[in-house]
Amino acid sequence: MNLTTDFIEDKIKEGSHSWNQWTKSLIKEMPSIKMYSDKPLKNSVTQQISLKIAEIPEIKFKDMVLDNFDFSRLKWTHLESKNVIFKNCNFYKSDMKNSELNHCTFDNCNFEKANLINSNFNFSKLTDCIFKGSNLSKSEQFSTIYNNCSILDTSIMWSKLIETTFIESRIFNSKIFGAAIWNVKILNSETKNLIITKNDEPEIKIDNIEVAQFIYLILNNQKIRDVITTLTSKIVLILGRFTDERLKILESIKEVLILEGFVPVLFTFEKSPKRDLTETIQLLANISKLVIADVSDSKSIPQELSHIIPSTPSLPIQPIIVAEQKEYSMFEHWNRYEWVRPIFEYRNEAHIRTEICKLVN
* Residues ≥6 apart with Cβ < 8 Å to 61: 12, 79, 80, 81, 82, 84
**What is the spatial order of strands in the sheet that 130-132 belongs to?**
130-132, 150-152, 170-172, 190-192
Q: Given 3-state DSSP classes, what are the helix, strand and coil percentages for the chain, each rounded to the nearest 5?
A: 25, 30, 45
Q: What distance in Å separates the CA atoms of residue 10 and residue 334, rounded to the nearest whole number?
A: 75
pLDDT band for 126, please (50, 70, 90 cuts).
Answer: very high
pLDDT exceeds 70 at position 353: yes
For the question of whether the overall pTM of this predicted structure is more than 0.75, the answer is no
Backbone angles phi, psi at 152, to 5 degrees: -125, 135
Domain ranges of the chain: 1-192, 200-361
Q: What distance in Å separates the CA atoms of residue 134 and residue 120, rounded to the nearest whole number?
A: 15
pLDDT tens across 215-243, in order? 887 777 776 666 565 455 688 999 887 77
Q: Under DSSP, is residue 245 helix (H, G, I), strand (E, B) or coil? A: helix
- For the four alpha carbons of 294, 296, 300 and 303, in that order, the dihedral sign comes to positive
pLDDT tens across 185-213, in order? 999 999 999 999 888 888 889 998 888 87
* Residues ≥6 apart with Cβ < 8 Å to 90: 69, 70, 71, 72, 109, 110
CATH topology of domain 1-192: Pectate Lyase C-like (2.160.20)
Length of the chain: 361
Lowest-pLDDT range of 69-78, 238-247, 248-257, 311-320: 238-247
* CATH entry 3.50.50.60 includes domain 200-361: no
Contact 188, 167 (CB under 8 A): yes
